[in-house]
Amino acid sequence: MKEDNDKINDVDPKSTTKNTQFSGRVLAAINEMCTTELCRPGIKLNEHINKLFPTEQSLAQLDGIMTSLEQEVDDLDGELARLVEAFGEAGAVGTSALNAARESMSDLETRLGRVRSRTQMSDSSVLTMTRDINQLDTAKRNLTSSITTLHHLHILLSGVNSLNSWIAARRYADIASELPAVLNVLQLFDAYIHVEQVKNLTERVEKLKADLSVQLAADLKLVFQSGNINQTAVDMCKVTAVVGGKLEQDFQKWYVDQQFGEYIVLYSDSEDVAWVDKVDHSKLAEFERNGMGKVFPASWEMGRRMSMEFCLITRQALDRLMTRRRNELDWKLLAHAINHTIMFENLLCKRFPTKGEFNFEKIIWQVFNKYMDIFVEAQSKNLTEFLDGCANKIRTGEEKPIRDTSTHAFPLPSSADLFLLLKKIITETSKLCAEPDKLLKQLVLVFRQCLRGYAHGCLTAFLPQVTTQNSITTTSLLQNLIGEETIIRLTPDQQFFTCCILATADWCAETTQQLQEKLKQKISEIDFSQEMELFYNISNSALNTLVQDVEAACDAALQMMTKINWAGIEAVGDESGYISAIRTHLRQYVPLVRDYFSDRRKYFAHFCLKLATQLVNKFYGSILRCKPISISGAEQLLLDTHALKVFLLNMPSLESSIVTKPPTLFTTTVNKTMTKAEMVLKVVMTDVTKPDEFVINYSRMLPESDSSELQKILEMRSMRRSEQQQIIAIYRHKIEGIEPAPASTSMPSAFSAVVSLAADGIADSSMRRLEKLVKKKL
């Protein structure tokens, strides 16, 4: 059946409409109307028929399917007929509505035309009605202007006539009241200057002003020179203000010069009495006290002018005097003058707030700026004297702390006094200098010198030291080298004082950082990093001194360790006595140092790290000097090494009720060196009958070693020199990759002597110095 259906030609609905394009709405409507599969656009008939008749047995339903299809076609035909009929009715209704709309638009346009015509007629009527009103308004304005002009002209003519007679009679009160009105009215005729009468009148007024200026200039000087200040003087000043121009300026200058003439002469360069501490402000006070400010017009600002002139004269005079007599200046005198000037300027600023060109802020004060080097020199001298006093107090014991006075180390009081003094100088700088930031830049160098001077002169100079000296004195070089050394340790008070110096240096470094941050708010480029580093170096030096002092007490125990006959030990016992001695000493001093640094725990941690590092390195070196060693001796040393390692790991918490875990760096340092010492002892106990295997085991146990260290370890065993050289040669070849060198010539005689001395068992410390000397000679 399927093969028969394949023969049916497929009909593609798209092929019938491939040239027809429908809109989206049409396509959507079509899809909505398609209620059966056969109505779907793009349906493939072959597939649909195969779907309906998948087998031959399904052909039995063919008649039923055909009937349903025919019924569907009939239904579609009926629906299509109804749609066509409905579309025809809708077209007729739409045409009718369109015609009605066109008629309405035509009617509306006719009505708009009638309204527009009526509006034009109304505008014409309003324009006709207002034309007469506009003419009446223009006539009114012209009449008013004429009347006003005539009135002004009358005022001007009567005023000019009056002024002419009043000037001759010196009636300044009347002139003061009339002249402003005349001048104001005259300005109204500027537009009519081309009129002959107006031009003549203007020239007449100008001549009156000129005559009045000449007469007034003489009268003003006469009145103020006589000192008879009355209402006439007040009226004359009012007239002068109205006239203005050169008359006003010349009189103001003349009056100010007259007031300060004596002052200028008194403080001239030829007068010996003139000096910075003799500046007199009495003239300004007299001007205010006598009420002279009310005599002059307010617009003159005569009080401000006199104050400004006084300040300028004073500033120039001070500059000349201080330049000429600079050698006589000292800081006390300069500070007195500056303080006096600041108070005076503050009064001026309150009395006369800034207005235009009159600004009294720092107007005189700024003259002292270029003499601030005197202040810098004075402060440098003051700080130097302070540092000398601090050093002297420490030297005499006045400021040298004693252990009984405190349970923990504290900064020296002089360090706080130092920074208080620096703070005082900075505060004084901002109060006494008109440009404090520039002065601070000059003082930065002084501050640095002061901080360094305190660091070197008051801390480093008095830092106790652990010293060594020879127990015998001889002219023989060899005996001097062999002579035993005696270590001079710190006393308990010196230990405490060393901790105080460390605390002082640390506090100074932190405070210097704060000082730098404070000054950076005003001077961005300031940098005290070198001074802070110097204080931290002093702290480190003090810490090294403490470590060296505690460590030195362990030297005797380590020397005892090297003098034991390790080759003669036959059995392993308890830990050796030198371990107990080291433990006893550390139990005595480490808790004491911890108490001293109770408020500076970081330094105690550094102390423990440095001390443990020094001890384990010295212990490792002492192990290498213990030779020869038997197997039992190596086992005993291994036991001692483990006991010392366990003790050192717990050293930060010795005699403490609170046991804390030591820092990782501390634990790593102790474990690394002590583990290496244990490996060395295990190497000593290793069988060497098979050199190749011994070298492989050695490189595995001590991977960071080298041939020189291997030689030292082999010397700890009871081996012949040839056996040692054989193992070293194998190590160099297999591990270091160095080819065997040809046999060397005979050993230098000096070095042979050293070897023989070593065989005789000379003390280790002297032997080391002798070896260094011989190597240097070679």
* Tens-place pLDDT, residues 518-571: 999 888 888 999 999 999 999 999 999 999 999 888 988 999 999 999 888 888
| Helix (H/G/I), strand (E/B), else coil: 543 | helix
**Residue 752 pLDDT > 50, yes or no?**
no
pLDDT of 545 reads 93
pLDDT of 481 reads 42
| Residues 490-498, mean pLDDT to the nearest whole number | 88
Residue type at position 321: L
pLDDT of 506 reads 94
pLDDT of 279 reads 58
Structure tokens at 714: 């082999």
User: Tokens 């360790």 appear where?
Assistant: 561
Please indicate, yes or no, whether the overall pTM of this predicted structure exceeds 0.85: no
| Residues 608-627, mean pLDDT to the nearest whole number | 92
| Residues 330-335, mean pLDDT to the nearest whole number | 82
pLDDT of 454 reads 95
pLDDT of 103 reads 84
**Residue 310 pLDDT > 80, yes or no?**
yes
Arithmetic mean of pLDDT over the chain: 79
Instruction: Name the pLDDT band for 475 (thresholds 50, 70, 90).
Output: very low
pLDDT in tens, 567-604: 888 888 888 899 999 999 999 999 999 988 888 888 99
Residue 731 to residue 713: CA distance in whole angstroms: 13
Helices 577-596 and 631-649: crossing angle, nearest 10°? 10
Residues ≥6 apart with Cβ < 8 Å to 407? 595, 598
pLDDT of 608 reads 92
| Residues 329-347, mean pLDDT to the nearest whole number | 83
* Least confident stretch, 183-187, 237-241, 300-304, 766-770: 766-770
User: Tokens 């527009």 appear where?
Assistant: 116
**Residue 84 pLDDT > 90, yes or no?**
no
**Residue 421 pLDDT > 50, yes or no?**
yes
Instruction: Name the pLDDT band for 750 (thresholds 50, 70, 90).
Output: very low
- Percent of the chain whose predicted confidence (pLDDT) is above 70: 84
**Under a CB-based contact definition with an 8 Å cutoff, are residues 439 and 376 in contact?**
yes
pLDDT of 774 reads 40
Q: Which of 426, 632, 395 is nearest to 514 (CA)?
A: 426
Q: Which residue has the higher pLDDT, 746 or 510?
A: 510
**Residue 5 pLDDT > 50, yes or no?**
no
pLDDT in tens, 18-43: 445 667 777 777 776 666 666 666 67
**Under a CB-based contact definition with an 8 Å cutoff, are residues 655 and 598 in contact?**
no
* Least confident stretch, 225-239, 382-396, 644-658: 225-239
Residue 553 to residue 582: CA distance in whole angstroms: 8
Structure tokens at 77: 């035909």
Instruction: Name the pLDDT band for 12 (thresholds 50, 70, 90).
Output: very low
**Residue 758 pLDDT > 50, yes or no?**
no
pLDDT of 147 reads 81
| Residues 443-465, mean pLDDT to the nearest whole number | 93
**Residue 442 pLDDT > 90, yes or no?**
no
pLDDT of 288 reads 65
